[in-house]
Structure 1
Amino acid sequence: MPALSIRQPWAWLIVNGHKDIENRDWTTNYRGPVFVHASKTFGPSEREDCEYVSEDYKIDMPADFALGGIVGLAHIVDCVDSHESPWFFGKHGLVLKDSRLLPFTACKGSLGFFTPKIDAILGGER
């Protein structure tokens, strides 16, 4: 199953059911399940994103985020150029459904879709 690396707090917002769109500069024809990978990057820009989400969306953000591994699962059901979701800010949006948390599994991320180099994430569940 492919994975997609996403910076925090966006990965957390997706797997906790708040964010239903992942903004990208590129399109995809892929539809189906994707692991949500939280990238290792977390700096001043990401802290500003947390403040923005807390203030504008009234969502309580955690003090710490999991970084550098798989944090959840989502299903890509569409790729759009516009969308009514308040989370759509991009050139293109991957429309997500059925997002959920998974136990954290450390692994290296990559740009675009990638196959995680780990033995088991779902324990046989698909």
Structure 2
Amino acid sequence: CAGIKDIENRTWKTNFRGRVLIHASAKGEYAAWVLNKEQMLEVTKKGVWSNIAYYKTSAIIGSVEIVDCIKGSESIWADNRTFVHKGEITHLWHWVLKNPVLFEKPVLNIKGKLSFWESGYDELICPECGKNCIERYGQYYGNMRS
């Protein structure tokens, strides 16, 4: 949701299209990124490394729209290696991402799970400021920035 990736690589296809909340795991995997030269240039150009202290763990940190699910994307973020699945050689699925939103105020202390899961949070438009907001059971968590 920092706006640098346009592809999420997964071993499984999704038919879901729409906005999803982004959860940062408890492990803080940011330091473990292995980037190629093109990816490093993109990350540096967007200023992500300078903001790395901002990113929280065990938190809902933003949202993004999944607009398609394909194989063979030419994005610098697409992993086009093959792997074996159920005895067949195949490629990873590329979830095509658009319109990322980074929350101004992440929702902290949220335990994640594998795959899609219900968070109990809804994204909405604030009637006062017109910005995206996040709400859980009527409790307001503040504006998000895109």
**TM-score, scaled to structure 1:** 0.72
Extract unaligned runs of 5+ from structure 1: 1-14
Distance 1:104 1:36 in 2: 10
Give the drift of 1:48.
4.1
Give the drift of 1:84.
1.3
Does the residue aligned with 1:19 lie in a helix, a strand or coil? coil
1:70 equivalenced with 2:70 (yes/no): no
Counterpart of 2:98, as a letter, is K
Do 1:33 and 1:73's aligned partners in 2 also have CA atoms closer than 8 Å?
A: yes
Does the residue aligned with 1:115 lie in a helix, a strand or coil? coil
Extract unaligned runs of 5+ from structure 2: 81-91, 124-132
Give the drift of 1:117.
4.0
1:20 equivalenced with 2:6 (yes/no): yes
1:13-61 deviations in Å (ceiling 9; x for gaps): xx12110111111111000010011111136xx42416x3688522141
Comparing 112-121 with 62-71, greater Cα deviation is found at: 112-121
Which of 1 and 2 has greater Rg? 2
4+ residue segments displaced more than 6 Å: none
Aligned length: 108
Comparing 29-38 with 52-61, greater Cα deviation is found at: 52-61
Q: Which structure 2 residues correspond to residues 70-109 of structure 1 after superposition, within 5 A?
A: 70-89=60-79, 91-102=92-103, 103-106=105-108, 107-109=110-112
- In terms of fraction of residues, the more strand-rich structure is 2
Match of 2:115 among 109, 112, 115: 112
Q: Which residue of 1 aligns with 2:19?
A: 33
Do 1:108 and 1:116's aligned partners in 2 also have CA atoms closer than 8 Å?
A: no
Distance 2:38 2:5 in 1: 15
